[in-house]
Amino acid sequence: MIARFDFTQRRFILAPLAGWTDPPFRAAVKRFGADLTVSEMISANALVHNLAKTKKLYEKSPLETPYAVQIAGSDIQTLTKAAMTLSNETDIDIIDLNAGCPAQKVTRNGAGAALLKDPSLLGKLVGAIKRAAENKLISVKIRLGYDKNNGVEIARVCEESGADFIAVHGRTKIGGFSAPVDYEAIGEIKTRLKIPAIANGDIDSYEKAQAVLDATNADGAMIGRGATGAPWIFAQLKNNLSSAGDTLMRSVILEHFDRAVEFYGERGAILFRKHLHRYSKGREGAAAFRSAINRESDLLALRAMIGEFFEAR
Ligand SMILES: Cc1cc2nc3c(=O)[nH]c(=O)nc-3n(C[C@H](O)[C@H](O)[C@H](O)COP(=O)(O)O)c2cc1C
């Protein structure tokens, strides 16, 4: 069966964030109505050569439908094999190609944002993935360009090569994560495509999401950093809510913690610290809380500290 995901209404999508958007976090986000969640970036090479270990990285969390797995690579044969492997997984609806990651360990192999320098290769890779996984939807996550904005050219190559939709982070590779986001450029891409285009970059509130959707006419908004420490942002974005409420937040954080421990075992406590840093940001006593949790690795003690700190005050 061919997977489906329609854009008859504007979609709110969780961005892939390596180190953050694991199954426990995606489960939290899903509870608040994210329309689509994406795995962390998976190396196509790892997928092909070390499937058993890699599978854990793209495990789907319950209720996570539709579900996209993002792959990174630059070699046509490896990406083809990776796409064929994923095409056999009934849990996965969408295969997303990473054409935006600026990290050196990714770009030095010609993958991620390096693909923006070679639109013709990018097109070949998208086409190969599409042919290898005909039962899945194919999306591409791009930036506006490598060191200049040639986003329209890049986006059109994706469309012509068979992508079903794209997400556009409105910066170039050189722009990293802090240059101003060029929403006008995202809007220009949107007008030049037939396939849906999703806007991404610095969307962190209902007002911002509305402004970006108005400015770009995009088919949806993708949220990354704005969702860390705030998985409830999806309910806020969809329903114009100003706050999720302290009692609910506490139960979400505890449930997120429990799922992290279930997923990672003992290691979950340490991996969860970064989430607690984000969850506690801006709250009274956050600095003392952070230094206390950084020293605690006993799961039960840590859970009690979380429960106490996030008690409605
Ligand atoms: C810590 C971190 C990890 C990221 N990992 C990925 C990734 O695995 N794949 C990807 O396509 N983009 C990744 N990105 C980029 C985000 O998906 C997103 O495009 C970018 O952060 C801008 O959106 P935001 O302002 O909503 O965060 C990452 C960004 C950050 C900050």
Please state, rounded to an integer, the average pLDDT across all residues of the chain.
95
Q: Among residues of the chain, what percentage have pLDDT more than 70?
A: 98
Q: Is the CB of 112 under 6 A from ligand 1?
A: no
pLDDT on residue 50: 86
Q: Is the CB of 278 under 6 A from ligand 1?
A: no
pLDDT in tens, 212-251: 999 999 999 999 999 999 999 999 999 888 777 777 899 9
pLDDT in tens, 70-127: 999 999 999 999 999 999 999 999 999 999 999 999 999 999 999 999 999 999 999 9
Domain 11-239: assigned CATH number: 3.20.20.70
For residue 167, what are the β-bridge partners? 141, 198
Ligand 1 centre to CA of 300 (Å) is 32
For residue 118, what are the β-bridge partners? none
Is residue 158 among the annotated active site residues?
no
**Residue 100 structure tokens:** 């935006």
User: Does 133 have pLDDT greater than 90?
Assistant: yes
Ligand 1 centre to CA of 16 (Å) is 6
Listing from the earlier edge strand, what are the strands of the sheet with 220-223? Answer: 11-14, 220-223, 197-200, 165-172, 137-145, 94-99, 67-72, 37-43
Please answer whether residues 81 and 51 qualify as being in contact, where contact means their C-beta atoms are separated by less than 8 angstroms.
no
pLDDT in tens, 158-174: 999 999 999 999 999 99
pLDDT on residue 313: 58
Cα 238 to Cα 209, 224, 232, 233, distances in angstroms: 10, 16, 10, 9
Instruction: Indicate which atom in ligand 1 lies nearest the CA of residue 100.
Output: 11
User: Does 1 have pLDDT greater than 70?
Assistant: no
Q: Is the CB of 24 under 6 A from ligand 1?
A: no
Query: Which phi and psi angles does 141 have, rounded to 5°?
Result: -105, 115
Query: Which one is catalytic: 95, 101, 133, 167?
Result: 101
Q: Is the CB of 40 under 6 A from ligand 1?
A: yes
User: Which element (helix H / strand E) includes 95?
Assistant: strand 94-99
DSSP 164-225: SEEEEEEEESTTTTTSPP-HHHHHHHHHT-SS-EEEESS--SHHHHHHHHHHH--SEEEESG
Task: Confirm whether pTM is higher than 0.85.
Answer: yes
Distance CA 149, CA 170 (A): 9
Ligand 1 centre to CA of 244 (Å) is 24
Instruction: Indicate which atom in ligand 1 lies nearest the CA of residue 203.
Output: 26
Cβ within 8 Å of residue 28, ≥6 positions away? 231, 252, 255, 256, 259
Q: Which of 169, 186, 216, 277 to mutate to test the pocket of ligand 1 (most atoms within 8 A of CB)?
A: 169
Q: Among residues of the chain, what percentage have pLDDT more than 90?
A: 91
pLDDT on residue 63: 85
Distance CA 124, CA 58 (A): 24
Q: Is the CB of 98 under 6 A from ligand 1?
A: yes
pLDDT on residue 53: 85
